Amino acid sequence: MSHPFRDAARLLWEHRQAGTALDALPAPLRPHDADQGHAIQAELPTVAGQAVVGWKIAATSAAGQAHIGVPGPLPGRILAGFVRPPGEPVSLLGNRMRVAEPEFAFRFGQDLPPRAAPRTTAEVMAAVATLHPAFELPDSRYADFVHAGQAQLLADDACCGVFVFGPAAPEGWRGLDLAVHRVHATVFAADGQPRYQREGEGRAALGDPRLALTWMVNELSARGISLYAGQTVSTGTCMVPLEVAPGDRVEADYGALGRMALTLMA
């Protein structure tokens, strides 16, 4: 029996594996609303045969939402195969977005099952074990992802790409005001010369990475989805995404929270 949500997820997965793009999902498989987009995304772990090791939030700023034409942030699943170890060069082959995004990521130490009442930020943070600097290299299976629309972007896992999670931040991070915590990034060319620098703050992610995390927990809870101990939620870019090319090296300085470096190849 045909399973249109799974068929759509399989088609998107095949394009992800091949590094190819499509204009849009075929009409019989195309989601008509956000709920159908979520339903397609939910089939991704099955068609990929991979575990969900965390979640990402796309479009956490008004500018990001306007850029891809969505009314609010979008959740996406991070599968095991999307994560690269720190220090390992990451390929841009097949990636059309060509940006790196420094992010704040939180790893849970406790399960958070769905419940009727929304959780407060204090409740969510009490379940967090560690904070990690992170990079995402987002990507899309759509040739024109800017105009694909909310439903198709959700189906395509909210532009989830490759993630690199840095070491856990030192103890004491809970005492910092993450909304105003600054991150300084430098993009170096292959010859080691700096190409440009950029700065951002935690407030770029829905006003505060902790608020973004709380939004994600409650969004998933409302959809009957649990978060589990060991899973990591990356809360969206804390600055205007960094334009990158093969051969570049990206460094992000999170101050007291640590540093991240990412080498890109073709």
Average pLDDT, the chain: 97
Give the pLDDT of residue 237: 97
Domains of the chain from N-terminus onward: 4-265 (3.90.850.10)
Please, are residues 168 and 130 in contact by the beta-carbon 8 Å criterion? yes
- Mean pLDDT on 56-60: 96
Please, are residues 74 and 230 in contact by the beta-carbon 8 Å criterion? no
| Cβ contacts of 116 within 8 Å, gap of 6 or more | none
Give the pLDDT of residue 55: 98
pTM to 2 decimal places: 0.97
Please report which confidence band the pLDDT of residue 71 belongs to, taking 50, 70 and 90 as the band edges.
very high
Give the pLDDT of residue 63: 87
Please report which confidence band the pLDDT of residue 110 belongs to, taking 50, 70 and 90 as the band edges.
very high
Using CA atoms, how far apart are residues 60 and 204, in angstroms rounded to an integer? 7
Using CA atoms, how far apart are residues 233 and 211, in angstroms rounded to an integer? 12
Please, are residues 176 and 208 in contact by the beta-carbon 8 Å criterion? no
Please, are residues 104 and 205 in contact by the beta-carbon 8 Å criterion? yes
Residue 108, pLDDT > 90, answer: yes
- Mean pLDDT on 21-32: 97
The helix/strand/coil state of 139 is coil
Radius of gyration of the CA atoms of the chain, in A: 18
| Cβ contacts of 230 within 8 Å, gap of 6 or more | 53, 107, 108
Residue 1, pLDDT > 70, answer: no
- Mean pLDDT on 119-148: 97
The helix/strand/coil state of 218 is helix
